[in-house]
Amino acid sequence: MAKRVAVVLSGCGVYDGSEIYEVVITLLRLDQAGAVVQCFAPDMQQLHVINHATGEVMEGDERNVLIEAARLARGNIQNLSDADAAEFDAVILPGGFGAAKNLSDFAVNGPDLTVIPSLVAFVQAMREANKPVGLMCIAPAMTGVLFGDGATCTIGNDSGVARAVEATGAIHKNCGVDEVCIDEANKLVTTPAYMLAENIGEAAIGINKLVDAVLAMT
């Protein structure tokens, strides 16, 4: 029977939403493994909109996270508030600054971050059902909030970000771009992806390992 995996997105574009390559690699690997995938995103306004050609904030421009994420999901997307843990075997969150700006406010508040209620509810319901979770790139910054003190994760080897992650109660483990960090007790798999990757090929190595490890835990 095919495994059902929820993929939670945070918009479209590395600087204000989901990192596009990370999403595509994740969806490709899941498809190759025969998994049934459903994408979700919160129905909310983005923190801001970034011009990806210049890196500058587009003042006065507003975009909806769910609508933008639908671009990546080819329209097959649902409101994160409607996600039911009973219907899935695992959940994976690609990175991109949307994880730190829209799904959480880590980009603004660092270790004092909060995570949107719909994501907390869904991930914690998955945990209570003993189902695995995969977080990549900057998304593991939410580990302390989502999993509590002592959960182990990686964002790569950036010492400043690692200290902020550990200040939330999580334990950070340095990892290379081609590695994954596996917290067996919490069924949590993390990988640095574009926190370290210099090209799409490098990013794919760790992401593919993460997807494989998450599916193996189901």
Q: Which residues are catalytic?
A: 137
Minimal CA–CA distance to 71: which of 118, 159, 115, 9? 9
Q: Judge contact between 179 and 206, C-beta under 8 A.
A: yes
Contacting residues for 177 by C-beta, under 8 A, at least 6 apart: 156, 192, 193, 196, 197, 202, 203, 205, 206
End-to-end Cα distance, the chain: 12
In Å, what is the CA distance from 83 to each residue of 18, 76, 121, 124, 171? 18, 14, 9, 12, 28
